[in-house]
């Protein structure tokens, strides 16, 4: 399990670092940050009051979309046999089990697939909240 988490983290980490860096650079050019700096605000105050809230919002949008991708990636890796193994439960393990039992119980195949789609969609929709709020300001 740790290997799967490490691989998925290694591939999702660099884009998050780029998002944080870009959001921080953008926040440093906003007028209220420039005004606070001109009024003598120190670097700690600039970061905690002005830059971090702007950066966290951008990171939250990206992280929620990335969470859906990571859940899907883990399920696919496990489904093809490279990811998690028994006794750990995963959607990638439940999907082939549902396929084997689908002749006796069709809901065994539909259930895990439907829950996976709902979870990935929910992560994507979760990120639209901060994005939408920021656009209306």
pLDDT in tens, 47-68: 888 889 888 888 888 888 888 8
121 located within any domain? yes
Q: Work out the pLDDT band at 136, boundaries 50, 70, 90.
A: very low
Of residues 62 and 90, more confidence is placed in: 62
pLDDT at residue 120 is higher than 90: no
102 is in which domain, residue-wise? 12-136
Of residues 43 and 84, more confidence is placed in: 43
6 located within any domain? no
How many domains in the chain?
Answer: 1
CA pseudo-torsion sign 108, 89, 85, 74: positive
21 located within any domain? yes
5 located within any domain? no
2 located within any domain? no
112 in Cβ contact with 60 (< 8 Å): no
pLDDT at residue 81 is higher than 80: no
Judge residue 14's burial from the number of C-beta atoms within 10 Å of its C-beta, 0-12 exposed, 13-18 middle, 19 or more buried.
exposed
1 located within any domain? no
127 located within any domain? yes
> What is the SS3 assignment for 19?
helix
Q: What is the pLDDT of residue 130?
A: 61
| Separation of alpha carbons 94 and 113, rounded Å | 9
pLDDT per position as a tens digit, 123-135: 888 877 765 555 4
Q: What is the pLDDT of residue 135?
A: 47
pLDDT at residue 22 is higher than 90: yes
**pTM over 0.95, yes/no:** no
């Amino acid at each position: 399990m740790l290997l799967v988490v490490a691989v998925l983290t290694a591939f999702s980490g660099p884009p998050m670092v780029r998002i944080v860096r870009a959001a921080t650079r953008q926040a440093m050019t906003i007028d209220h940050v420039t005004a606070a700096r001109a009024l003598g605000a120190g670097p700690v105050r600039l970061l905690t009051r002005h830059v971090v809230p702007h950066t966290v919002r951008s990171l939250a949008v990206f992280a929620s979309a990335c969470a859906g991708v990571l859940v899907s990636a883990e399920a696919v890796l496990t489904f093809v046999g490279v990811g998690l193994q028994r006794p750990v439960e995963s959607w990638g393990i439940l999907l082939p089990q549902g396929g084997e039992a689908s002749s006796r119980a069709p809901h065994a195949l539909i259930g895990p697939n439907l829950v996976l789609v709902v979870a990935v969609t929910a992560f994507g929709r979760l990120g639209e909240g901060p994005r939408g709020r920021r656009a209306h300001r």
